[in-house]
Structure 1
Amino acid sequence: MGRTSRKRRSTLATRMTIASAALLLGGGGLVAVNVYASAHEDSAEGQGAGSGTQTQQTQQVATIDCPDVGTQLSDVPDGARDEVDGELATLDSQVTQAYQRLAASRDAAARDPRFVQNSILDPLKKNRSAILDRIRLEMERRGGQAPDGMNDMAECTAQPPKDQPPQEQPGGDGSQPSPSSSSGDGGQQPGNGGQQPGNGGQAGNGPVAADFADITKVQPNVQKPRNGRGASTGTFTTRCGVNDNKKFNTDNIIVAPGVANGAHHLHDYVGNQDNDAFSSNDDLANADTSCRNQKDRSTYYWPVLRVQDGSQDFDADKDGGGKEGNVGKILQAEKAQIKFVGNPRGKVVAMPRFLRIITGDAKAFTNGTANANAHWSCTGFEDRQLTDKYPLCPDGSKVVRSFAFQSCWDGQNIDSANHRTHVAFADGNGNCPANFKAIPQLTMRLVYDVQAPTIENGQVKNPFAVDGFPEQLHKPITDHDDFINVFDDAEMKRVANCLNRGDRCS
């Protein structure tokens, strides 16, 4: 199904392209770097700026860690939000370009311990400072006030690798290869499944062997709250397919409206068929949908999963794809199950139309786990979930990605400045925060038929990985999912009533 309208690129997006081009930090494809950091750690990994040391500025730098400005902007005047969102997207582009320069400059970093600081981090700080100044001025012009300490968020740090596995030279003597021993073709070498020895991932930016875990060795860890007397125990299932229409883009209408390639990675879409960075609410309301229920024009989208088997897909030379380290064959989910469930403590109210919810954090590797909500498992083992590891499934078992969205709403807003604070998770007993209302909880389950990668001598061959920002190193903890409610109002009330009555509806 095609789009119902064609929209011009906004002047904001054009200005943003010019602004991001001002930080020209390297060209060409990504080159392999040493990336052995493990996600979900409580050390300096994933912390904010200001913790860097001189010893980190070497060829052993794994990635760049920048404060996530957007999460701190919880109170942006309505009239400033479009401009601010655009500037935040420019910050993302700057970090991506800086990481690309880092990946392409390992030899220079090996020769000069100050190279990363002088040639990458200092120019990045200067460019970020200019954007932060523009954000502050735009907020003040509209009667708002920037948060204290925003100037400090210009500084980024270089993060070192952790848990480096042994590397084996082609000669098999077990010695460490020099930092300059990789090929210049984005980490792809013939005859080894597209893997770059010792660096992880087909594009040299992950994943690594430490990012995988045998699901059969994980203890059951799923706990659900008990239903109270007034619980809303029903379910409502909507069937929207698995993206057979091959609707992809690297936009993010929620976080970066009006900005092409605002996500820097490719999304699968089901449901609404007119979802790109320039879609208005009216566009969404009038679009076609892949859902059987034509009263559900909601948009459901998530980063694609790829297998890095040495092959390339249609976006190998495109922004958000191979140009930004997202490489390999795109996997289509075998199942994409979408279900709304109730609240264990009481009744739910209907979601407002055009409510936007993001669950998980695409930057959780560097941001830390505050907003992380990744769940990885295997069919037959779904009583055990992994957050910071991809599952190695046994024969006959398939990879499962699952999501449980925020189920409490502030009762007023369909979005918030940081796209977080208008919704919240219920606590462990199912209670919403004060002044929040329980709404139908969106749950999703994606099933993939993908062969388990093999791990030999600390190296992973033919891994699968979720698309993401290149500096996030394809870590499993960065998995996330996005939703905009475009149910017909009457139909959404039917969803809520179904849950409240305890029925099973579709």
Structure 2
Amino acid sequence: MHTRTARVAMAVAAVVASGALTATFVSSGGKGSADAATELNQYVPIEQVRPTVKDPAPGARASKGSFTVDCGTNGNGKFSPDNPVAQPGIRNGAEHVHDFVGNLAITANSSNADLDASGTTCRNGDKSSYFWPVVRIDKSVRSGAEAQRALAATTPRVTCPSVRDRLPAVPAKAKRAVDLRLAELDRGYAAANERMAAGKGRIDARLNTAVLADLRQQRARLIKGISGSIAAAGGGRTSGMVSLVECDTDYDGMHAAMRHTAASVKAGLAANPQVRCPAVRDKLPGVPAQALDEVNRNLAELDRQVSEANERLITTRGQGGKNFVDNAILGPLKAKRTAVLDRIAIAISRNAARPQGLEVLAGCTVTGQAPPQSGATPAPSAPAALPDPQGPNLELPNNTGGIVRPASVLIEYRGNATSKVVAMPKFLRALTGDAKPTSRGPANARATWSCSGFADRLADKYPICPPGSQVQRVQDFPGCWDGRNIDSTNHRDHLAFADPGTGACKQGFVAIPQLRITVSYDLSRDVQTRGQYALDSFPEEDHNPFSDHNDFVNVNSDRQMQKIAACINKGKSCR
């Protein structure tokens, strides 16, 4: 039997002491025992998994219907290492590749207006974005010791979304107050990384949790203050700023010490590029009150242009020659941006000094080219650039092998056992599972793995299915909403899972259509028994099956979401 050495598996604290590498296993995190001889212990025959899945009995007011959406299986190849829900504004923030279906334009930087203007892969016009980590087949040998060595040389850090790059036009009267709070955000980021240095060479979930909690509290206060200063100076109510509060743990340093091997399986894919343009918002001076509305309209137009270009990169793949992207997408984009930047400068100049040098921000590139030059120093919270996915299999360090295209993707909106559902608000952000149960603790992680024909059981290990059965990932999203917010500081608190026994939402929350996504794969029995398929993951997770997760942005129209809720409440099965 072909075996591979154990991967770094559990929540591990590894320290270098007296020249020796020591590992302390804190929690299983889906990885089984600490004495893992080979990574085959991450795989389990589905027949050995205890049946635990049981839906609550529906009550008199239950909403028993379902609404199914067909968005395809990512046949157009929209792959990205961005995570627009958990890490908005952070390029390559996931450090692993996601399958995206639905919204064609979405990137880490997409605004709600950009999402609403996008095309979609969904047959009913649903512009929502649904995305999850890819599964790969890799028959090469991986060494868990290699990942341990990489960890031993790594100092963990935090990564935070840049607030500067996401601000609206800042009124001149608020500029000083906003700049002071931005500087305090930078100091908080630096102080957090000083604390994180205590975790060098190991993974300390308690330290990480404490640092992130303190930083979240500070950033929430400062970002709220920034929004208040802008509003008080006549800049209007800012939106979406709460999404920028949460920071994340960062073990990017492991990448430098990990191999980037070519896979023995070729999926015949080409890298999915993204448009990259210099930030504009943080280069503007304080904007006169008379120009605020016009400048904000033009900033939104810049965003829309980039999203439109990103969508064109998807829909025109394979067209034209080697210069097609430059001539048909980047060239026209530069001309459009030049015109908008000039309009911004003119609007400001009517009541203040004209800003100089905005024209140098017009040129954009695509991933894989040299980054656009803005002439500015990156914000202190900006993460170091990670490598873009490489080659025909979109490989990243330690995430190698051929990507397996799902055989099917079933997207269902379901009801509630105790009550009728209300429509989800447009632009609701949701996630399920946890991409980092090792470095953040397993509290939010969920067992997702199963096989077709075994709907009564879910595993936190990779399943080995009987002949004729498909490997499946069954990912349930929270089905209860706080009735007010489309996001929260940690991207979780505005939603909640229903009580597993009764199906009821907790006090203060209402039932919404509960999203379930089932991703199915046709994998050979040999690949399963040899442990040759695995999830893309963050470096410290090292393909932990318990790090499976799924993300969602609702871009259904209000009318469509009302239709979904009505179908479910009437007990029908709709498409």
Query: Normalised by the shorter chain, which TM-score bucket?
Result: 0.5 to 0.7
Q: Write out per-residue CA displacement over residues 110-140 of structure 1, whole angstroms, 9 at most, x where no aligned residue.
A: xxxxxxxxxxxxxxxxxxxxxxxxxxxxxxx
Measure, in 2, the Cα distance between the counterparts of 1:284 and 1:263.
20
Deviation at 1:248, TM superposition (A): 0.7
Q: CA separation of 1:52/1:38 partners in 2, compared to 1, >3 Å: closer, same or farther? A: closer
Measure, in 1, the Cα distance between the counterparts of 2:92 and 2:68.
31
Q: Is the 8 A contact 1:403 1:481 kept in 2?
A: yes
Look up the equivalent residue of 1:379 and give its one-letter code. Answer: S
From 47, 61, 66, give the equivalent of 1:216. 47
The answer as to 2:491 corresponding to 1:419 is yes
Partner of 1:319: 388
Q: Is the 8 A contact 2:136 2:536 kept in 1?
A: yes
Measure, in 1, the Cα distance between the counterparts of 2:449 and 2:86.
24
Q: CA separation of 1:451/1:62 partners in 2, compared to 1, >3 Å: closer, same or farther? A: farther
Q: Which runs of structure 2 are paired with 1:142-181 in the superposition (5 Å)?
A: 162-165=34-37
Q: CA separation of 1:443/1:323 partners in 2, compared to 1, >3 Å: closer, same or farther? A: closer
Partner of 1:340: 413
Look up the equivalent residue of 1:276 and give its one-letter code. Answer: T
Q: Provide the secondary structure at the position in 2 that maps to 1:490.
A: helix
Q: Is the 8 A contact 1:377 1:400 kept in 2?
A: yes
Q: Which runs of structure 2 are paired with 1:19-30 in the superposition (5 Å)?
A: none
Q: Is the 8 A contact 2:66 2:413 kept in 1?
A: yes
Measure, in 2, the Cα distance between the counterparts of 1:283 and 1:477.
33
Partner of 1:330: 403
Partner of 1:405: 477
Q: CA separation of 1:304/1:384 partners in 2, compared to 1, >3 Å: closer, same or farther? A: same
Measure, in 1, the Cα distance between the counterparts of 2:448 and 2:18.
32
State which drifts further: 279-288 or 313-322: 313-322
Q: CA separation of 1:448/1:62 partners in 2, compared to 1, >3 Å: closer, same or farther? A: farther
Q: Provide the secondary structure at the position in 2 that maps to 1:270.
A: strand
Q: Write out per-residue CA displacement over residues 226-253 of structure 1, whole angstroms, 9 at most, x where no aligned residue.
A: 0000000111111111111111111111
Measure, in 2, the Cα distance between the counterparts of 1:334 and 1:304.
13
Partner of 2:371: none
Q: Is the 8 A contact 2:25 2:34 kept in 1?
A: no
Q: Is the 8 A contact 2:64 2:571 kept in 1?
A: yes
Q: Is the 8 A contact 1:312 1:327 kept in 2?
A: no
Measure, in 2, the Cα distance between the counterparts of 1:213 and 1:372.
18
Q: Is the 8 A contact 2:15 2:21 kept in 1?
A: no
Q: Provide the secondary structure at the position in 1 that maps to 2:483.
A: coil
Q: Is the 8 A contact 2:64 2:569 kept in 1?
A: yes
Structure 2 alignment gaps of length 5 or more? 140-263, 272-367, 369-386
Measure, in 2, the Cα distance between the counterparts of 1:34 and 1:356.
38
Q: Provide the secondary structure at the position in 1 that maps to 2:540.
A: helix
Q: Which runs of structure 2 are paired with 1:355-370 in the superposition (5 Å)?
A: 355-370=428-443
Partner of 1:251: 82
Partner of 2:20: 58
Deviation at 1:395, TM superposition (A): 1.4
Measure, in 1, the Cα distance between the counterparts of 2:9 and 2:411.
31
Q: CA separation of 1:308/1:462 partners in 2, compared to 1, >3 Å: closer, same or farther? A: farther
Measure, in 1, the Cα distance between the counterparts of 2:424 and 2:104.
21
Determine which structure has greater relative contact order: mean sequence separation of CA pairs < 8 Å that are 6+ residues apart, divided by chain length.
2
The answer as to 2:107 corresponding to 1:273 is no
Q: Provide the secondary structure at the position in 1 that maps to 2:20.
A: coil
Determine what percentage of the aligned residue pairs are the same residue.
43
Deviation at 1:453, TM superposition (A): 4.6
Measure, in 1, the Cα distance between the counterparts of 2:42 and 2:404.
19
The answer as to 2:562 corresponding to 1:505 is no
Measure, in 2, the Cα distance between the counterparts of 1:395 and 1:283.
45
Structure 1 alignment gaps of length 5 or more? 1-32, 40-44, 66-158, 166-197, 199-207
Q: Which runs of structure 2 are paired with 1:73-112 in the superposition (5 Å)?
A: none
Q: Provide the secondary structure at the position in 2 that maps to 1:470.
A: coil
Measure, in 1, the Cα distance between the counterparts of 2:18 and 2:557.
53
Q: CA separation of 1:266/1:440 partners in 2, compared to 1, >3 Å: closer, same or farther? A: same
Measure, in 1, the Cα distance between the counterparts of 2:425 and 2:486.
7
Q: Is the 8 A contact 1:269 1:299 kept in 2?
A: yes
Q: Provide the secondary structure at the position in 2 that maps to 1:447.
A: strand
Deviation at 1:36, TM superposition (A): 4.9
Measure, in 2, the Cα distance between the counterparts of 1:290 and 1:62.
46
Q: Is the 8 A contact 2:64 2:416 kept in 1?
A: yes
Partner of 2:58: 227
Look up the equivalent residue of 1:391 and give its one-letter code. Answer: P
Look up the equivalent residue of 2:418 and give its one-letter code. Answer: R
Look up the equivalent residue of 2:123 and give its one-letter code. Answer: R
Q: Provide the secondary structure at the position in 1 that maps to 2:525.
A: coil
Q: Provide the secondary structure at the position in 2 that maps to 1:494.
A: helix
Q: Is the 8 A contact 1:297 1:486 kept in 2?
A: yes
Look up the equivalent residue of 2:470 and give its one-letter code. Answer: K
Q: Write out per-residue CA displacement over residues 379-434 of structure 1, whole angstroms, 9 at most, x where no aligned residue.
A: 122222102x1001121111011111001111111001110101010112111111
Q: CA separation of 1:367/1:452 partners in 2, compared to 1, >3 Å: closer, same or farther? A: farther
Look up the equivalent residue of 2:121 and give its one-letter code. Answer: S
Look up the equivalent residue of 1:58 and give its one-letter code. Answer: A
Partner of 2:464: 392
Partner of 1:99: none
Measure, in 1, the Cα distance between the counterparts of 2:44 and 2:521.
17
Partner of 1:189: none
Q: Write out per-residue CA displacement over residues 201-239 of structure 1, whole angstroms, 9 at most, x where no aligned residue.
A: xxxxxxx11100011222322111000000001111111
Q: CA separation of 1:224/1:305 partners in 2, compared to 1, >3 Å: closer, same or farther? A: same
Q: Is the 8 A contact 1:271 1:299 kept in 2?
A: yes
Q: CA separation of 1:214/1:493 partners in 2, compared to 1, >3 Å: closer, same or farther? A: same
Partner of 1:134: none
Q: Computing the radius of gyration over CA atoms, which structure comes out larger, 1 or 2?
A: 2
Q: Provide the secondary structure at the position in 1 that maps to 2:519.
A: strand
Q: CA separation of 1:258/1:368 partners in 2, compared to 1, >3 Å: closer, same or farther? A: closer
Q: How many residues align?
A: 324
From 134, 142, 155, give the equivalent of 1:304. 134
Q: CA separation of 1:337/1:311 partners in 2, compared to 1, >3 Å: closer, same or farther? A: same
Partner of 2:542: 473
Q: Which runs of structure 2 are paired with 1:419-458 in the superposition (5 Å)?
A: 419-428=491-500, 429-453=502-526
Partner of 2:561: 492
Where is the helix percentage greater, Structure 1 or Structure 2? Answer: 2
Query: What do you get for the CA RMSD once the two structures are aligned?
Result: 2.8
Measure, in 1, the Cα distance between the counterparts of 2:96 and 2:124.
29
Q: Provide the secondary structure at the position in 2 that maps to 1:411.
A: coil
Q: Write out per-residue CA displacement over residues 312-346 of structure 1, whole angstroms, 9 at most, x where no aligned residue.
A: 56589953554431110100111100010011000
From 119, 122, 125, give the equivalent of 1:291. 122
Deviation at 1:443, TM superposition (A): 0.6
Measure, in 1, the Cα distance between the counterparts of 2:105 and 2:80.
11
Q: Write out per-residue CA displacement over residues 156-209 of structure 1, whole angstroms, 9 at most, x where no aligned residue.
A: xxx9x92131xxxxxxxxxxxxxxxxxxxxxxxxxxxxxxxx6xxxxxxxxx11
Q: Provide the secondary structure at the position in 2 that maps to 1:285.
A: helix
Q: Provide the secondary structure at the position in 1 that maps to 2:109.
A: coil
Look up the equivalent residue of 1:332 and give its one-letter code. Answer: R
From 397, 416, 425, give the equivalent of 1:352. 425
